[in-house]
């Protein structure tokens, strides 16, 4: 069973995001970059399937050279090889353009399954997975929280949460599955895994290598344009309820909830 | 990886750091309070760390390590400072970065198969037994003796303040094999748990490192085969000094990381806590404290990193290691003390981490060779 995992590199969840002076992007200087956590679920699931059925896991990332680090992390976890799609002309591309580049890189590979995160935790678009499936002409199953490959390795069954219930979807292979939280607990890269990752093949592809026209990518070619980024409102300071006794405090709390917060 | 990358480390060290950080945050830190309360941490942690290959950084590949350099130990020690328990760092660190390196450096193949291989996997735990009830820094003055009797050594004596003392599977015991020759009569002998005559006299109650197992050991006609001699007979003192080099460096690294953690916690507190209508960190008297602390921490880190660089490049750094040990360990105590002061009454409360850091760091200028001994080393190396 050969599996491809698409991954994105995103700012660490603990990063303090600052908006850049242009008002349309963020300051990236002090950011610690990590593998998108939803993609990490995809890597883990791919590795588990590989451990059961054999085969190879290929990790595909797109972006500047630093994305290599995230691909190496996936290799350290146990993936077999990596592909980095990197080209200055890709800078600023929208989700559809990204999906086109990824499709070009994976379409001729031998694969049974593709995993990717249900969305990137940075832009929260959730478009790339479905777009790649559409461009490849294969089924797309989103938000998988359980994935089972049939014994004959011809079909996959995926559980997907829907409003507190579970939808069980069966699909032929190859198919693309987007990973949701709850699918698994990703492993830590072991130290021997990290050392082995250094020797695993990692190929770089430019748009020209993929036979793509650079003018269809980048900020200028965006179909979705970012007009402005605004920070979330600052959290207001909390209020400490004064009072001598629990009764007094409770009465004061009730009064504030009623008169100030107007929730009672 | 942060943009402000530390010059000392390569990409693989940083990847190792990422893995460790997650492990510490998910599997250690949330349980630290419980383990501190219980006075020990689960043995499972050794096995888990072993399974993830975390002890193998600077260990030879033949025995299951990855053959890297001391920087892996550095990263381990730095990240373990976030476990919220100095005892956990001490227990894991003593095994991985003191006991195992001694076997790796001086053991023969048979000993490495017996102790190092399972040790790297976290299945057999090691302890180093040098200190005695009446002898600390004066290694040549130990009284535990090993007398040759045919193919065996017969060991008698006792050992004190032994980390992993009650739970280790093997002990590297410093013994006098020649009573006449002072430090030139010291040898290191491997003693396995369960050997008749060997016993744990008591588990010790400590100010800090509460989750670490520290014990007093007794040897009463303990017989071990001569094949258990580690390295050469009567060369034990030099072997111990060799091991102290890395142990002291690891301790310095851990102290810098602990001081930084204490500083960060206190910065956050000083920004939130208000007195006289403004955050206490904005009072000049405290602002200067923060400026001082960060300067000391940064100076300690730079000295330590520089020394590690000398060390991994095989350059002489005995003097620098002693400087690191004194400066970093004492800085951590000083910083933790100041952080408690900034916390006021809360800093004195057991639920605040700064007091634990202070208690855990207080051993650092004592253990692994006191500050006083380090200064003697520096002085002698200066030819004074």
- Residue B137: the pLDDT is 81
Chain A residue closest in CA terms to B54: A191
pLDDT category, B111, cuts 50, 70, 90? very high
> Could you give the CA distance from residue B254 to residue B215 in angstroms, rounded to a whole number?
22
Among A220-229, A233-242, B334-343, the range scoring the smallest mean pLDDT is A233-242
Taking an 8 Å cut-off on Cβ atoms, the answer to whether A32 and B68 are in contact is: no
- Residue B68: the pLDDT is 94
Average pLDDT over residues B354-361: 98
Backbone angles phi, psi at B215, to 5 degrees: -140, 165
Taking an 8 Å cut-off on Cβ atoms, the answer to whether A31 and B51 are in contact is: no
pLDDT category, A242, cuts 50, 70, 90? confident
SS3 B25: helix
Average pLDDT over residues A66-88: 97
- Residue A222: the pLDDT is 93
Among A249-263, B227-241, B280-294, B330-344, the range scoring the smallest mean pLDDT is A249-263
Residue B1 reports pLDDT greater than 80:
no
Taking an 8 Å cut-off on Cβ atoms, the answer to whether B57 and A191 are in contact is: yes
A-B Cβ pairs (cutoff 8 Å, strict): 56
Mean model confidence pLDDT for chain B: 96
Q: Does B316 touch chain A (CB under 8 A)?
A: no
Task: Tell me the domains of chain A and their CATH numbers.
Answer: 2-221 (3.40.50.620), 233-264 (no CATH)
Taking an 8 Å cut-off on Cβ atoms, the answer to whether B15 and A31 are in contact is: no
Average pLDDT over residues A229-245: 85
> What are A90-129's pLDDT values in tens digits?
999 999 999 999 999 999 999 999 999 999 999 999 999 9
pLDDT category, B138, cuts 50, 70, 90? confident
Q: Which chain B residues are Cβ-neighbours of A31 within 8 angstroms?
A: 3
Q: Which chain B residues are Cβ-neighbours of A29 within 8 angstroms?
A: 3
Average pLDDT over residues B16-41: 96
- Residue B5: the pLDDT is 76
Distance in Å, alpha carbon of B267 to nearest chain A alpha carbon: 17
- Residue A233: the pLDDT is 85
Q: Which chain A residues are Cβ-neighbours of B57 within 8 angstroms?
A: 191
Q: Which chain B residues are Cβ-neighbours of A189 within 8 angstroms?
A: 15, 18-19
Q: What pTM was estimated for this model as a whole? A: 0.88
- Residue B2: the pLDDT is 39
Task: Tell me the domains of chain B and their CATH numbers.
Answer: 11-124 (1.10.540.10), 128-234 (2.40.110.10), 237-381 (1.20.140.10)
The answer to whether the CB of A198 falls within 8 A of the CB of A162 is: no
- Residue A235: the pLDDT is 80
Distance in Å, alpha carbon of A191 to nearest chain B alpha carbon: 5
The answer to whether the CB of A141 falls within 8 A of the CB of A114 is: no
> Could you give the CA distance from residue B79 to residue B22 in angstroms, rounded to a whole number?
10
The answer to whether the CB of B104 falls within 8 A of the CB of B59 is: yes
pLDDT category, A232, cuts 50, 70, 90? confident
Residue B4 reports pLDDT greater than 60:
no
Closest partner residue to A194 among B4, B12, B22, by Cβ? Answer: B12
Q: Which chain B residues are Cβ-neighbours of A195 within 8 angstroms?
A: 12, 66, 68
Residue of A29, A78, A194 to mutate, testing the B interface (most B Cβ within 10 Å of its Cβ)? A194
Mean model confidence pLDDT for chain A: 94
Residues facing residue A117 across a β-bridge: A179
Q: Where are the beta strands (DSSP E) in B33-80?
A: none
Cis peptide before A174 (omega within 30 of 0): yes
Nearest by Cα to A28 from A4, A58, A64, A57: A64
């Amino acid at each position: 069973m050969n599996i491809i995992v698409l991954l994105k590199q995103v700012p660490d969840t603990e990063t303090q995001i600052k908006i850049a002076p242009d008002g349309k992007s963020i300051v990236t200087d002090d950011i610690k970059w990590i593998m998108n956590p939803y993609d990490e679920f995809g890597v883990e699931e791919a590795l588990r399937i590989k451990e059961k059925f054999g085969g190879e896991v290929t990790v595909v990332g797109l972006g500047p050279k630093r994305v290599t680090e995230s691909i190496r992390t996936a290799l350290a976890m146990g993936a077999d090889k990596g592909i980095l799609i990197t080209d200055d002309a890709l800078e600023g591309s929208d989700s559809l353009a990204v999906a086109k580049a990824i499709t070009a890189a994976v379409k001729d590979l031998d694969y049974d399954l593709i995993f990717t995160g249900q969305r990137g935790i940075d832009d929260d678009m959730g478009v790339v997975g479905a777009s790649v499936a559409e461009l490849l002409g294969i089924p797309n199953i989103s938000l998988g929280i359980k994935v089972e490959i049939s014994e004959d390795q011809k079909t996959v069954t995926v559980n997907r949460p829907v409003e507190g219930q579970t939808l069980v979807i069966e699909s032929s292979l190859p198919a693309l599955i987007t990973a949701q939280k709850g699918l698994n607990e990703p492993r830590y890269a072991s130290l021997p895994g990290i050392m082995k990752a250094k020797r695993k093949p990692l190929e770089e592809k430019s748009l020209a290598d993929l036979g793509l026209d650079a003018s269809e990518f980048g900020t200028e070619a965006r179909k979705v344009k970012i007009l402005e980024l605004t920070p979330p409102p600052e959290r207001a300071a909390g209020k400490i309820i004064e009072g001598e006794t629990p009764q007094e405090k409770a009465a004061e709390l009730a009064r504030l909830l009623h008169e100030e917060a107007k929730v009672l | 990886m942060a943009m402000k990358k530390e010059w000392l480390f390569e990409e693989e060290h940083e990847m190792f750091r990422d893995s460790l950080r997650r492990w510490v945050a998910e599997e250690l830190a949330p349980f630290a309070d419980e383990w501190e309360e219980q006075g020990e941490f689960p043995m499972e942690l050794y096995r888990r760390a072993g399974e993830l290959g975390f002890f193998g950084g600077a260990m030879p590949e033949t025995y299951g390590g990855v053959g890297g350099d001391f920087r892996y130990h550095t990263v381990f020690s730095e990240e373990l400072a976030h476990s919220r328990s100095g005892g956990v760092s001490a227990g894991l660190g003593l095994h991985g970065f003191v006991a195992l390196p001694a076997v790796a450096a001086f053991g023969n193949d048979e000993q490495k198969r017996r102790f190092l291989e399972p040790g790297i996997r976290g299945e057999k735990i090691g302890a180093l037994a040098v200190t005695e009830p009446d002898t600390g820094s004066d290694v040549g003055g130990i009284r535990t003796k090993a007398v040759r009797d045919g193919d065996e050594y017969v060991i008698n004596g006792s050992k004190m303040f032994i980390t992993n003392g009650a739970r280790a599977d093997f002990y590297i015991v410093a013994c006098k094999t020649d009573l006449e020759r002072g430090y030139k009569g010291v040898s290191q002998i491997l003693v396995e748990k369960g050997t008749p005559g060997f016993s744990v006299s008591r588990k010790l109650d400590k100010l800090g490192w509460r989750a670490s197992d520290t014990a007093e050991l007794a040897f009463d006609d303990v017989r071990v085969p001569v094949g258990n001699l580690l390295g050469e007979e009567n060369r034990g003192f030099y072997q111990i000094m060799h091991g102290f080099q890395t142990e002291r460096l690891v301790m310095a690294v851990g102290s810098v990381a602990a001081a930084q953690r204490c500083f960060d916690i206190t910065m956050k507190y000083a920004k939130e806590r208000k007195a006289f209508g403004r955050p206490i960190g904005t009072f000049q008297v405290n602002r200067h404290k923060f400026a001082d602390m960060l300067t000391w921490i940064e100076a300690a880190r730079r000295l330590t990193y520089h020394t590690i660089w000398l060390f991994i490049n095989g350059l002489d750094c005995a003097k620098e290691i002693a400087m690191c040990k004194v400066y970093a360990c004492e800085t951590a105590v000083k910083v933790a003390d100041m952080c408690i002061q900034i916390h006021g009454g809360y800093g004195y409360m057991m639920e605040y981490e700064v007091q634990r850091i202070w208690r855990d760091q207080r051993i650092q200028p004592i253990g692994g060779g006191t500050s006083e001994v380090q200064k003697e080393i520096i002085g002698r190396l200066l030819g004074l």
